[in-house]
């Protein structure tokens, strides 16, 4: 089978997912919406802010009165935040005003208290005349009505991943519910007769099932809802049963192992029969074998069994694919550009290598260095890594070269 390049392979996944129904929509409280995706635009009913207000503590003035300074003005009112100023300033008048308070009629600028001097007071804390020491122009220190969001503007577009600032914005807009896409329920199974559960003793030839728990927690970290479908033996009937049940109760499935060229790769046999699969050999290392397809309308990601390959394949294919299914408009990791802190040598093999690296900020330069053994079974180096350095085909990159790095969770 010919190797397909990564972008092409991912394109084949995303284009099929776009045609799927995606996850269901529901209404939740903003506090429960963090990490979920807005299912529809959130618009501002009223303008934000709802009135012209002061950005500072000071004096609301008519800019025409203070085109040159110093100038003395008569203080005719005090406007606190949360009150309705029932005054209109006439020429030569000003009002004491607090941050966030309504700018009174007649006023069109605010002078900071630091730029004024008390000339006369009616009593302690009640200014009567004030000297403005610095000239002002209309609009100074005024936060105009609607300058954050005019009425009817889209504050949160559909597809936005909701974060704490959006929760604040929803509160500002007076929303107590927000329409989101449900996190996709992602069923994860692992397969292999050599695998045992972590709590059990391992016998001859056995290893522990690392992938299932890793993939479940990768789903959690990505904001998906993980469903543990268990460790399944290399047995066609058992694999088929778990896949069918999983497809009926989950929004998507992830399998690990059994999709390469081995004699006991029954996942491949079963998926070949019950699913509409696209089997690929991707021009990347690790994670060359990869399959994507659907059982009915449930997408299935067939990830390779080697633990590092499973992890990288999740990052490169399942995470973007499941983000698209969840309605995210941004599906990919944003790469950062770093500098190779050591030689990242490799041989030409027609593949892009994703090297597990640790990033350090040294005098403002982001340096990437490998975290150790890069074999696809060597999970320790992946666990120690912050990112995947993208090393293109060729002889590799020398120390000091620019290198693109895809950050892993949690991104620093």
Residues that bind ligand AMP (CB under 6 A): 190, 192, 194-195, 207, 209-212, 256-258, 260, 262, 304-307
Minimum distance, C-beta of residue 314 to ligand AMP, in the bound complex (Å): 12
For residues 372 to 391, the per-residue mask of contacts with Mg ion, x marking binding by CB under 5 A and - elsewhere, is --------------------
* Alpha carbon distance 107, 309 (integer Å): 66
Contact 371, 357 (CB under 8 A): yes
Alpha-carbon distance of 31 to 39, in angstroms, equals 16
Select the binding partner of residue 209 from Mg ion, ligand AMP, none (C-beta < 5 to 8 A, by kind).
Answer: ligand AMP
289 is a site residue for Mg ion (CB under 5 A): no
Which residue of this chain has its Cβ atom nearest to Mg ion in the complex?
Answer: 192
Pair 368, 353: CB distance under 8 Å: no
Query: Cα–chain-centroid distance for residue 295?
Result: 29
155 binding partner (options Mg ion, ligand AMP, none; Cβ < 5 to 8 Å by kind) = none
Give the shortest CB-191-to-ligand AMP separation in angstroms: 7
Listing DSSP states for 239-299 in one string gives: HHHHHHHHHHH-SEEEEES--SS-TT-HHHHHHHHHSEEEEEEESEES--EEEEEEETTEE
Asked if residue 127 binds Mg ion (CB under 5 A), the reply is no
Q: Report what 387 binds from ligand AMP, Mg ion, none; CB cut-off 5-8 Å by kind.
A: none
* Whole-Å CA distances, 397 to 323, 366, 392: 31, 16, 9
Partner that binds at residue 306, options Mg ion, ligand AMP, none, CB closer than 5 to 8 Å by kind = ligand AMP
| Nearest distance, CB of residue 262 and ligand AMP, angstroms | 4
Q: What is the smallest separation between the CB atom of 258 and ligand AMP, expressed in angstroms? A: 4
Distances (CA, A) of 248 to 10, 243, 297, 299, 391: 25, 9, 9, 11, 40
User: Is 102 within 8 Å of 53 (Cβ atoms)?
Assistant: yes
By C-beta, is 164 or 198 nearer to ligand AMP?
Answer: 198
- Minimum separation from the CB atom of position 267 to Mg ion (A): 8
The reply to whether 307 sits near Mg ion by the rule CB under 5 A is no
Smallest gap, in angstroms, from Cβ of residue 218 to ligand AMP? 13
Q: In which residue are the tokens 């543990």 written?
A: 228
To Mg ion, the closest distance from the beta carbon of 191 in angstroms equals: 6
Contact between residue 389 and residue 405 where contact means Cβ atoms under 8 Å apart: yes
Does position 192 interact with Mg ion (CB under 5 A)? The reply is: yes
The C-alpha R_g of the chain, in whole angstroms, comes to 30
Q: Between 113 and 269, whose beta carbon lies closer to Mg ion?
A: 269
Please choose which of Mg ion, ligand AMP, none residue 330 contacts, taking the beta carbon within 5 to 8 angstroms, the exact cut-off set by kind: none
Q: Which is nearer to ligand AMP, 160 or 211 (CB)?
A: 211
Q: How far is the CB of 410 from ligand AMP (least distance, A)?
A: 23
- Smallest distance from the beta carbon of 257 to Mg ion, in angstroms? 4
Is residue 258 involved in binding Mg ion (CB under 5 A)? yes
Closer to ligand AMP at the Cβ: 289 or 341?
A: 289
Smallest distance from Mg ion to CB 285, Å: 19
Question: Residue 257 interacts with Mg ion (CB under 5 A)?
Answer: yes
- List all residues 6 or more positions away from 332 whose beta carbon is below 8 Å from its beta carbon: 320
54 vs 255, beta carbon nearer ligand AMP: 255
Instruction: From 77-85, 135-143, 187-195, 386-394, give the range in contact with Mg ion by CB under 5 A.
Output: 187-195
Distances (CA, A) of 410 to 164, 221, 222, 383, 387: 17, 8, 10, 12, 10
C-alpha–C-alpha distance, residues 256 and 267, integer Å: 9
**Three-state DSSP string of 242-257:** HHHHHHHHCCEEEEEC
Query: Cβ-count burial of 338 within 10 angstroms (0-12 exposed, 13-18 middle, 19+ buried)?
Result: buried
Nearer to ligand AMP, 40 or 378 (CB): 378
| Span near Mg ion by CB under 5 A; candidates 31-39, 188-196, 207-215, 330-338 | 188-196
Tokens of 144: 């105009």
Per CB under 5 A, 246 contacts Mg ion: no
State how far the alpha carbon of 198 is from the alpha carbons of 11, 72, 206, 213, 404, in Å: 36, 80, 11, 9, 35
Which residues form the interface with Mg ion (CB under 5 A)? Answer: 192, 257-258
């Amino acid at each position: 089978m010919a190797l397909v390049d990564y972008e092409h392979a991912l394109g084949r996944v995303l284009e099929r997912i776009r045609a799927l129904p995606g996850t269901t929509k529901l209404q939740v409280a903003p506090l429960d919406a963090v990490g979920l995706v807005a299912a529809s635009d959130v618009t501002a009913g009223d303008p934000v802010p709802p009135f012209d207000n002061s950005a500072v503590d000071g004096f609301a003035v008519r800019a025409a009165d203070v085109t040159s300074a110093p100038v003395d003005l008569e203080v005719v009112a005090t406007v606190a935040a949360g009150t309705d100023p029932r005054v209109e300033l006439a020429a030569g008048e000003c009002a004491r005003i607090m941050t966030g308070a309504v700018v009174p009629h007649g006023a069109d600028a605010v002078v900071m208290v630091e730029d004024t001097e008390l000339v006369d007071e009616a009593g302690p804390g009640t200014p009567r005349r004030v000297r403005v020491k610095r000239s002002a122009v209309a609009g100074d220190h005024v936060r105009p009505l609607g300058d954050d969001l005019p009425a009817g503007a889209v504050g949160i577009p559909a597809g936005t991943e909701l974060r704490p600032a959006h929760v604040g914005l929803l509160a500002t807009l007076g929303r107590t519910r927000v329409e989101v896409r449900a996190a996709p329920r992602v069923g994860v199974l692992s397969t292999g007769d050599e695998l045992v559960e972590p709590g059990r003793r391992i016998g001859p030839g056995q290893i522990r099932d690392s992938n299932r728990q890793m993939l479940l927690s990768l789903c959690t970290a990505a904001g998906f809802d993980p469903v543990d479908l268990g460790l399944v033996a290399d047995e066609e009937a058992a694999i088929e049963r778990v896949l069918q049940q999983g497809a009926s109760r989950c929004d998507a499935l992830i399998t690990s192992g059994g999709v390469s060229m081995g004699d006991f790769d029954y996942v491949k046999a079963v998926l070949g029969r019950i699913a509409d699969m696209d089997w690929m050999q991707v021009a990347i290392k690790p994670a060359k074998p990869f399959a994507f397809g659907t059982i009915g309308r449930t997408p299935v990601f067939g990830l390779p069994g080697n633990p590092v390959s499973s992890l990288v394949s999740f990052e490169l294919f399942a995470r973007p694919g499941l983000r698209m299914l969840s309605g995210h408009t941004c599906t990919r990791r944003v790469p950062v550009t770093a500098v190779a802190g050591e030689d990242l040598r490799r041989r030409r093999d027609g593949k892009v290598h994703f090297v597990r690296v640790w990033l350090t900020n040294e005098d403002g330069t982001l340096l990437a260095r490998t975290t150790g053994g890069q074999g696809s079974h060597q999970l320790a180096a992946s666990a120690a890594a912050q990112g995947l350095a993208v090393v293109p085909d060729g002889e590799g990159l020398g120390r000091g070269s620019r290198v693109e790095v895809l950050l892993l969770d949690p991104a620093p």
